[in-house]
């Protein structure tokens, strides 16, 4: 069942935050529809929620934050909505890049470049290069991203190395596969949050979330704020992560 947001008590600073939080930002359209507004307005309010989430992650001390901003399946949406989403991404970079850089945010993107226009690609490259050495937070933007495609591409890379004689099939291991994924060098998420009450991954980080804790929130993404993030982290901290082993309680 989705986790209802409760007034979160201040997080205990002695407990380290999750190393990596991933978010499926869902519910922009439904948020707008319930208010009699066009979907585009919901997407614009969703960008404001991204800004709040980034600020909150820095304040809490989360090292990695990944946001699912545009999936490879989103191209099926109406052309005017796609154009609006692309425009929002461009405006976000233009408006926020200097502030993110000053705050010590390193931007990284995962996903494909096919179908993405040259102007947006250039803006993304500029953002990644400018912020490359920042340390306060790594903001991973999953844009034109689909996990099945990512895994297939990684398998193809390893197969090409085998065909070229640079890799023996016996060397294809979990670590070898992880090294050729888009997320190479990024730790797997400890916590994945999805807003809007939906409970599915929607082709997001399928490989990387093998042992991730999931928290499904019943709020729509435009309403997401620091309190919602803290509520999800509190739920995360209440769980026992066993990674396939036995519960500590069962061995006591």
CA–CA distance from 223 to each of 50, 150, 197, 228 (Å)? 10, 30, 13, 9
E-assigned strand segments in 161-212: 191-194
Which of 150, 55, 77, 76 has its CA nearest to residue 109?
Answer: 150
In the chain, the N- to C-terminal Cα span, in Å, equals 30
What is the distance between the alpha carbons of residues 108 and 128, in angstroms, rounded to a whole number? 6
Residues with catalytic roles: 26, 74
Say if residues 132 and 108 touch (Cβ distance below 8 Å): no
- Name the residue with tokens 């890799």: 167
**Helix, strand counts (H, E) of the chain:** 8, 6
């Amino acid at each position: 069942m989705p986790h209802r947001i409760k007034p979160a008590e201040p997080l205990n600073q002695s407990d380290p935050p999750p190393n990596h939080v991933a978010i499926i930002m869902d519910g922009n359209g439904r948020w707008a529809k319930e208010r009699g507004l066009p979907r585009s307005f919901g997407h614009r309010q969703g960008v404001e929620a991204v800004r709040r989430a980034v600020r909150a992650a820095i304040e809490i001390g989360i090292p990695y934050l990944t946001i699912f901003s545009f999936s490879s399946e989103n191209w099926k949406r109406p052309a005017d909505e796609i154009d609006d989403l692309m425009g929002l991404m461009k405006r976000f970079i233009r408006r926020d890049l200097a502030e993110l850089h000053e705050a010590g945010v390193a931007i990284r993107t995962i996903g494909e470049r096919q179908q993405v226009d040259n102007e947006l690609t250039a803006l993304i490259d500029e953002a990644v290069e400018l912020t490359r050495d920042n340390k306060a937070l790594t903001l991973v933007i999953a844009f034109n991203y689909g996990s099945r495609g990512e895994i297939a591409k990684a398998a193809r890379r390893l197969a090409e190395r085998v065909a070229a004689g640079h890799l023996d099939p016996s060397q294809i291991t979990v670590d070898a596969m992880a090294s050729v994924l888009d997320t190479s060098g990024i730790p797997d998420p400890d916590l994945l949050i999805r807003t809007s009450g939906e409970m599915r991954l929607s082709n997001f980080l399928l490989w990387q979330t093998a042992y991730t804790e999931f928290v499904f929130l019943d709020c729509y993404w435009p309403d997401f704020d620091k309190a919602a993030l803290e509520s999800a982290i509190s739920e995360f901290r209440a769980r026992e992560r066993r990674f396939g082993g036995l519960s500590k309680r069962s061995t006591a």
